[in-house]
Chains A and B, each alone.
Chain A
Amino acid sequence: MDLGLKGKVAIVTGSAQGIGKVVARTFAKEGANVVIADIQEEKGKQTAQECQALGVKAIFVKTDVTKYEDVDNLVKTAVKELGRVDALVHDAATFVIGPFRKLPVDSWNKVINICLFGAMNCGHAVAEPMVAQKKGHIVFVGSDAGRTGDASQAAYSAAKGGIMAFSKSLALDLGPSGITVNVVSPGLTLTPENTELMEKLIGKEGDEKRQKVVSIYPLRKLGTAEDVANVAVFMASDKAGHVTGQVLSVSGGYSMVG
């Protein structure tokens, strides 16, 4: 299916690694020019190079999504270097794991700042060029934790839940200007970089502990970064042009809400 992304310009935050990196590479495979936005410089530049090798223009802009000036600069650089912004995917995130009442109060700040304020900064900064174009697609990476809660990730759930509410409000606000805003909601997702962390959390592949976790997923497997990236890129394309204010879970049936 031709998503119509060839020659379009896509910004991806958190694209130095994980889901964000695969989102950037997927955009590049579709022929879109990509702006890699991350606080990690070396890995970010690496992603940009990999995208260029796929035949598109790709630039890296060092960005701390918690700082509005950085995000504003990111969007302005994209427009200056690549001419416009057609899509923005916000995947920059962090999390803290543990029972909420046992965690220190200041452990939430980073989570809410990067995930939720990051999303709001991006939504604000990219609105201007998109409204001027009367066209644009914004995709936030949420989480099933934000849809149904997660016993060991309260702050993360709050941030991702906040992203969902924010995205609907932004969708209502920008809809008349022809801009769509949607959320992709993963469950447990395996990425090239998180193998070790996953093993710590849910055991090694084949372990009884991991089997038990996997058996909760109706599709009897965990997600991959590609699973999530496919949906994010679809939502960022004109083929999803009539989809806005929506949350789509890419989590093997972990949650079936709404």
Chain B
Amino acid sequence: MELGLKGKTVIVTGGGSNIGRAVFLAFMSEGCNVVNAELDEVQGQKVVDQAKSLSGKALLVKTDVTDHKSVEAMVKKTLDTFGQIDILVNNVGWTFDRLFIEKPREELEKEIKINYWGFINCTRAVLDHFIARKSGAIVSLGSDAGRVGEWREAVYSGCKGAVIATTKAIAREVGRYGIRLNVVCPGVTVPASTNDMSKYSLWQDSFKIFTPEVQQKATHSYPLRRLGKPEDISGAILFLSSDAASFITGQTLSVSGGYSMM
């Protein structure tokens, strides 16, 4: 399907691991200019190198999404290099599964900073440019946790619920400029290996929880009887970023094998 993505400039936050990496490579396959706004420089460069044979142009810009100055600098570097921005994918996220009453306060603070403030900072940083051009698409990673609440992910669920609600509000405000915002919600999405990941990825610690046995047991909650893979998620993100989805805004789409149905 002609998505009209060739030559477009895309920012993917956290493009070093798992879903972010799959999204980064998918946009590169479409011939886009893709900025990997990744905190782990080494892993970020590794992924940029993996994309060498693909038709797009890649740029690594070390970014800390919890720091709005770092984000603003990344946006400026993108504009200086490519002249414009068409698409932002808010992908960075983090959690460590624990019962709410067993959560240390520092982890709650980390989850709110990375999952919600990261989204606020990046979204705010591209909007002036989008409004000036009267064009732009933002796709943010939510989670089924944000739609139906997830056991052992109380505040992570809250942050993803916040991403969903704020996306709708901003969609209402900037729709008149032709700017679209949508959310894609994965379920549990397991990376292929622990080798190809940013040192900040939630999967550095979460494989201790999501052992092969736990993963197998979890598949029973999925109507499609399997957990997600990063490539499952990138199709929907590319589609919603593209002109093929030019009449879709303020929407939440779960790509989770039917884990939640609302």
- A contact residues vs B (CB 8 Å cutoff): 1-3, 26, 30, 168, 171-172, 175-176, 178, 180, 217-221, 223-224, 227-228, 230-231, 233-234, 239-253, 256, 258
What chain B residues lie within 8 Å of A172 (beta carbons)? 223, 258, 261
Check if A253 sits within 8 Å of B171, measured CB to CB: yes
Check if B1 sits within 8 Å of A230, measured CB to CB: yes
Chain B residues bordering chain A, tally (CB within 8 A) = 44
| Residue interface mask B1-44, A partner, CB < 8 A = 1 | 10101000000000000000000001000100000000000000
Check if B228 sits within 8 Å of A217, measured CB to CB: no
Known: A176-B223, A252-B175, A258-B147. A245 touches B250 (CB 8 A): no
Check if B261 sits within 8 Å of A217, measured CB to CB: no
Known: A30-B1, A224-B247, A258-B262. A246 touches B254 (CB 8 A): yes
Q: Closest chain B residue to A3 by CB distance?
A: B1
What chain A residues lie within 8 Å of B232 (beta carbons)? 241-242
Q: Closest chain A residue to B235 by CB distance?
A: A239
Known: A234-B1, A256-B168. A244 touches B248 (CB 8 A): no
What chain A residues lie within 8 Å of B147 (beta carbons)? 258
- B contact residues vs A (CB 8 Å cutoff): 1, 3, 5, 26, 30, 147, 168, 171-172, 175-176, 178, 180, 222-225, 228-229, 232-233, 235-236, 238-239, 242, 244-258, 260-262
Check if B224 sits within 8 Å of A246, measured CB to CB: no
Known: A219-B178, A253-B172. A245 touches B247 (CB 8 A): no
Q: Closest chain A residue to B257 by CB distance?
A: A242
Specify which of B5, B246, B252, B261 is in contact with A171 (CB 8 Å cutoff): B261
Check if A242 sits within 8 Å of B256, measured CB to CB: yes
CB distance from A247 to the nearest CB of B (A): 7
Specify which of B238, B244, B261 is in contact with A246 (CB 8 Å cutoff): B261
What chain A residues lie within 8 Å of B225 (beta carbons)? 175-176
Check if B224 sits within 8 Å of A1, measured CB to CB: no
Known: A180-B224, A258-B262. A223 touches B247 (CB 8 A): yes
